[in-house]
Structure 1
């Protein structure tokens, strides 16, 4: 079994610096500071959404390469709703996969996304434990 360890250190006011198992670092800050233009980094909950998109996106790109289904551009938009009561958490999450290109191989792209959503993306599975999760695939032909 793989064990991951991260260390998170309070650096100032409402900011923490955290690392990942490979040693890279990022800054997290309080949601109350999100409007502060001098703050760089991520809010913890927004970072969860980025992790969801990144996990699935890495799966999809790897699968598309193996399937020889090239795209010119690929982006994922995640829209999430927080509960009103504390502790606030995402209870509804929509993941939209946008693909742009000429002569897109739609069947292969759909297969790659579905494999990520249903089989490979561990972050997606974690989100399913607490949120109503829906996905959509949108094609943009050039």
Structure 2
């Protein structure tokens, strides 16, 4: 499968990217003072969390596990030298609900991390990834 995106310079350090499904995103650098624009690196970090989150929710639904809420916190260390990239990434999986089945949740997260999340696999090629699971009732 091949994906194609079209990225066009908009102005200053801003670019419009059109995804294969037609959705349009504005990306760029906040160096020109626009604090509301997403940077490419931060979007990569968000993509990592979303990719894994989709896996986890899908697996837990198949296991008939009910959650009242779920979030993933992502923190990454950017190298000092150019080309700057994330060399260390920490992901926190936060589960909320009554009587959470920790064994099944652990299995779902582990399957995402080790088998299903393609973005995770890409990140592994350049970053050390640490994960933690948090349970909240």
- Tell me which interval the TM-score lies in, with the shorter structure as reference length: over 0.9
- Report deviation, 1:41: 3.1
- Report deviation, 1:36: 3.0
Residue correspondence of structure 1 range 34-49 to structure 2 within 5 A: 36-37=34-35, 40-49=36-45
Contact 2:30 2:37 in 1 (8 A): no
Count of equivalent residues: 137
Which blocks of at least 5 consecutive residues in structure 2 are unaligned?
none
Q: Aligned-pair RMSD on alpha carbons?
A: 1.0
Please give the secondary structure, in 1, of the residue aligned with 2:54.
Answer: helix
- Write the distance in 2 (CA, Å) between the matches of 1:19 and 1:48: 16
Show the counterpart of 2:99.
Answer: 103
Show the counterpart of 1:9.
Answer: 8
- Report deviation, 1:29: 1.4
- Write the distance in 2 (CA, Å) between the matches of 1:88 and 1:101: 39
Show the counterpart of 1:22.
Answer: 21
Contact 1:26 1:41 in 2 (8 A): no
Corresponding position: 1:127 with 2:127:
no
Please give the secondary structure, in 1, of the residue aligned with 2:8.
Answer: strand
- Write the distance in 1 (CA, Å) between the matches of 2:3 and 2:12: 27
- Write the distance in 2 (CA, Å) between the matches of 1:26 and 1:46: 13
- Report deviation, 1:63: 0.5
Once superposed, which parts of structure 1, at least 4 consecutive aligned residues long, lie more than 6 Å away?
A: none
Please give the secondary structure, in 1, of the residue aligned with 2:95.
Answer: strand
TM-score by length of 1: 0.93
Contact 1:82 1:90 in 2 (8 A): yes
